[in-house]
Chains A and B, each alone.
Chain A
Amino acid sequence: MKGDHLLLLYFTLLVPFLFALLVPLLYRYMPRIHTGWFVLVVPTGIFIYMINLIPIIAKGEKLVNSVPWIPTLGINYSTYVDGLTLLFGLLISGIGALVVLYSIYYMSKQREALHNFYVYLLIFMGAMLGIAFSDNIFILYMFWELTSIASFLLIAYWYQRKQSRYGAQKSLIITVIGGLALLAGLILLSIMTNTFSIREMIEADQMIVKHQLFLPSMLLILLGAFTKSAQFPFHIWLPDAMEAPTPISAYLHSATMVKAGIYLVARFTPVFSGTIEWFWLVTGTGMITLLWGSFSAVKQNDLKAMLAFSTISQLGLIMCLLGIGSASLYASTAILAALFHLINHSTFKGCLFMVVGIVDHETGTRDIRRLGGLMNIMPITFTLMIIGSFSMAGLPPFNGFLSKELFFTGVLEAARLNIFHLETWGILLPILAWIASIFTFIYSMILVLKTFTGKYKPNKYEKKVHEAPLGMLISPIFLASLVILFFFFPNIISNNLLQPAMKAILPGLLEGGGFENNIKIWHGWTTEVFMTLGVAVVGMLLYISFPKWSGIYEYLPEKISFNYIYDRGLVGMEKLAAKITKTYMTGIVRDYLLYIFIFFVVVVGGSMVLLNNFTFNPSGNGPVSAYEVVLILVIIGAAVLVMLTKSRLTAVIGVGVIGFVVAMFFVIFRAPDLALTQLVVETVTVALFLLCFYHLPELGRETGGVGLRAANLIVSLGVGVLVTLLALTAQSNPLVDPISTFFENSYQLAGARNIVNAILVDFRGFDTMLEILVLSIAGLGVYSLIKLPLARRDNK
């Protein structure tokens, strides 16, 4: 039974990919039905399956299994299902189903390339499920990059638009840089723990804290998580990703993909938690992101941009809570708050995106300066917007209120701790959180009031505005009802989902005495309630006086923005690369030869000098005869002549002289075959040189001035001296005895008294075979170069 269960799990995880293969066929052969209806089956089925897993996981059972993929490398597709995994699985499939349903009404069947849309969406869904369910770090990384790619494809869905392509490229660059850092971090982690399984890494947490790779791997993994979850300062890709179709923004860029980083941080909390670096990095980054995101959201004019910055700030909030929660035993509320807000954010932000999509769809604009007075025309949309926004602002009776209260509890608890320097700096946390909440309140109000209240001015809209069709409203209505349901019955998800997930993040917690996991709607006149009241009052005041102080956004110079740095950085890098390439890729062969020779001299000579390897041992040398001295003098003379002459003819003859003297050397050193060949080949070469150079102009003066000539001289001297020294060194250190004694038996072995010939045709005949091939190719090359000249362009 259990085996069947695991098999079903694997099938479930693969279904999105398998179905993605089917989508183009369905699109092609079932043109009358919107492809989305077929796709809807997939997330719905997965969601129902996940629901069935809840009781099993809530009982504390864990589903572990492994299918071999590359078993020799220890890379297996192992899955591990615990509370955290299931929480994400439900989010991905549940919101996925609603988004697909929404997209059926949002994406036009006639105008859009729906098959692309749903293939990308399904790939994304499968990859996201893969991240949550995989236990092997390489599988995790594989799915991680797959989400980046799917997100890239979805952002650039309307690839005809320049902004879409820009946003897609930006998100890909940033998330892939993070992804690579993640891979490095995971590999470091696997080196420390000697396993590829995340589960086993968590069990090994005690011994790795003192490891020297601990901090690098933590930083790299956090870099991956922060880039994916749009944390400060890597948040810049998210607002540009809003060029994607709205269902995609709702799904990827608010509910699921941006939470992959959150998942990663939560998943690795048991490994890294308890250290001051992790605490302050995660908490601090989350807090800064929260502040900056909510601050920036207020100034946006575009509804989706506002929601993008709002998502950034809410992700910062969750990240901050995860950081606080990593001080595990002292601040367990924070983890509960993080997980609860994770769910709540997915519900209300998904709802808000869909509502904004409806407004965009029905009015043709998302600009709050043009919107207004839609309250009476779109009452249902208005209601949904109120529910979503008020939940986001943290007002009752919506689930955002509960998680905001828990958030305040978490930061207050953290402020009271006296570890990790919290006794001095901790007081900042509640203050900053409170300020950020005020900004959250302001933009939530802007979202509702600027869009729906005021006077209705029909001439501002391109279309005749009316309420959205019911189908488009189903998904946001569903999400909005969840927002309210979660407020009244928070403990249903708390008991069934949050508690197992908390156990996954803080495995040591339950043994440490348990925790209070009941979420109370009302818990007396506590500090948190007064903080929320303060947020509402101050936020309302600031909203009313917004025109008076909105000028502060003007003071922020454009050049400090991270977008500016990113854009300039990209342009600068391209310019720098082009400049560097242009500097050394001159297109002049002489320069490249200089590089090659300088490299040779520096690397070979340098390493010889550094290793102190030059030796000279003349003891094994033969005596020098008078013939040799004379011939050497002739060669030197001819070489100097070739270098100094101004005439090509003289140079050719000089080269010929050298060749013939070499032939004489072969005679002296008793190599008759070589001497014969050298004589004939030298004659042919000189003849060919003469033939070719006959048509060339006289040798010109060396161009490039004295500097270049000096460089040439130095480099050529360097090469000459180095090669000489190398030859002397090699000759002084014979490492092995020569093997020529074997060939001396050539008469017995090959029936030949000419050893050279026996070697050429018998012992080493393979070389000769290829050499005559080279020769033939050269001949054919000459023939085709001369006989088959390319037709000149001006002939045509």
Chain B
Amino acid sequence: MKPNDVILQTVTKIVTFIILTFAIYLFLAGHHEPGGGFIGGLVIASALTLLYLAFDIETVREGLPVDFKVVAAVGVFIAVATGMGSILFDQPFLSQAFGYFNLPIFGKTELATAVLFDLGVALAVVGTGVTIILSISRDA
């Protein structure tokens, strides 16, 4: 008999978006404020965990048909690829660059290749975290 989780599920539906927003904030703010890829990734993973707790795994998978092992691999790949990118510009491996651009909506904005690297970190963390939790929970 499945217990009635209406309150949990309702709260989850709202809170997940708050957590995800916070996670994206942490990730983007990482360059200048506390945060970054690692913590951002962890918080995203915790939002997903909350979804798994409130609903069951199959339901979440239907809405989010992602293999998190692939996510982790993609993350590592992005991190390595940004490192390789610097070689194209005749720079040592993993040299990061940054610059200031006038973008249409944001105005003068700083864009840094380090953020791409951080994206790799975040994806690797999300993928790994969710993979571990899913593996263990399914076995238990």
Query: Which residues of A line the B interface, CB within 8 A?
Result: 672-673, 676-677, 680-681, 683-684, 688, 691-692, 694-695, 750-754, 756-758, 760-762, 765-766, 768-769, 772-773, 775-776, 778-780, 782-783, 786-787
B31 touches A780 (CB 8 A): no
- Provide the bound-state CA to CA distance between A692 and B127, in Å: 21
Query: Which residues of B line the A interface, CB within 8 A?
Result: 26, 30-39, 42-43, 46, 69, 72-73, 75-76, 79-80, 83, 93-94, 96, 98-99, 110, 112, 114, 117-118, 120-121, 124-125, 127-129, 131-132, 135-140
Nearest CB of B to A748, in Å: 11
Majority SS at the chain B contact face? helix
B117 touches A765 (CB 8 A): yes
In the assembled complex, which residues on chain A have CB atoms less than 8 Å from the CB atom of B76? Answer: 769, 772-773, 776
A779 touches B96 (CB 8 A): no
- Extra contacts, 19 of them, besides A676-B34, A680-B39 (Cβ < 8 A), are A673-B35, A673-B36, A673-B39, A692-B136, A750-B114, A752-B31, A752-B32, A752-B114, A753-B33, A757-B36, A761-B96, A761-B121, A762-B96, A765-B114, A768-B79, A772-B75, A775-B125, A775-B128, A776-B76
Please tell me which one of the listed residues A754, A758, A775, A779 contacts residue B33 in the complex, with CB atoms under 8 A apart. A754
Contacts known (A750-B96, A750-B112, A761-B114); A776 close to B39, Cβ less than 8 A = no
B131 touches A754 (CB 8 A): no
Contacts known (A761-B36, A779-B127); A751 close to B31, Cβ less than 8 A = yes
- Provide the bound-state CA to CA distance between A680 and B69, in Å: 21
B96 touches A765 (CB 8 A): yes
In the assembled complex, which residues on chain B have CB atoms less than 8 Å from the CB atom of A752? Answer: 31-32, 98, 112, 114
In the assembled complex, which residues on chain B have CB atoms less than 8 Å from the CB atom of A768? Answer: 79, 117, 121
- By CB atoms of chain B within 10 A, which of A688, A751, A769, A772 has the most? A772
B110 touches A751 (CB 8 A): yes
- Provide the bound-state CA to CA distance between A761 and B39, in Å: 13
11 A-B pairs with C-beta separation under 8 A: A677-B39, A680-B42, A684-B129, A751-B31, A757-B30, A768-B117, A775-B124, A780-B72, A782-B132, A783-B135, A786-B135
B79 touches A772 (CB 8 A): yes
B30 touches A776 (CB 8 A): no
Instruction: Give the residue name and chain of the B residue nearest to A760 (CB).
Output: B36
- Provide the bound-state CA to CA distance between A757 and B42, in Å: 15
Nearest CB of A to B81, in Å: 11
Contacts known (A751-B112, A772-B121, A786-B135); A779 close to B34, Cβ less than 8 A = no
Instruction: Give the residue name and chain of the A residue nearest to B100 (CB).
Output: A751
- Provide the bound-state CA to CA distance between A368 and B85, in Å: 86
- By CB atoms of chain B within 10 A, which of A672, A673, A681, A757 has the most? A757
A680 touches B43 (CB 8 A): yes
In the assembled complex, which residues on chain A have CB atoms less than 8 Å from the CB atom of B139? Answer: 786
In the assembled complex, which residues on chain A have CB atoms less than 8 Å from the CB atom of B131? Answer: 779-780, 782-783
Question: Would you list the 4 A-B pairs with minimal beta carbon distance, nearest first?
Answer: A751-B98, A779-B128, A672-B34, A772-B124
B73 touches A776 (CB 8 A): yes
- Provide the bound-state CA to CA distance between A783 and B37, in Å: 23
In the assembled complex, which residues on chain A have CB atoms less than 8 Å from the CB atom of B128? Answer: 775-776, 778-779
In the assembled complex, which residues on chain B have CB atoms less than 8 Å from the CB atom of A776? Answer: 72-73, 75-76, 124, 127-128
Instruction: Give the residue name and chain of the A residue nearest to B120 (CB).
Output: A772
- Provide the bound-state CA to CA distance between A681 and B132, in Å: 13
B32 touches A779 (CB 8 A): no
Nearest CB of A to B126, in Å: 10
In the assembled complex, which residues on chain B have CB atoms less than 8 Å from the CB atom of A786? Answer: 135-136, 138-139
In the assembled complex, which residues on chain A have CB atoms less than 8 Å from the CB atom of B140? Answer: 691, 694-695
A761 touches B69 (CB 8 A): no
- Provide the bound-state CA to CA distance between A694 and B139, in Å: 13
Nearest CB of B to A765, in Å: 5
Instruction: Give the residue name and chain of the B residue nearest to A681 (CB).
Output: B42
- Provide the bound-state CA to CA distance between A758 and B114, in Å: 8
Instruction: Give the residue name and chain of the A residue nearest to B31 (CB).
Output: A752
Please tell me which one of the listed residues B39, B125, B127 contacts residue A676 in the complex, with CB atoms under 8 A apart. B39
- By CB atoms of chain B within 10 A, which of A695, A756, A758, A765 has the most? A765
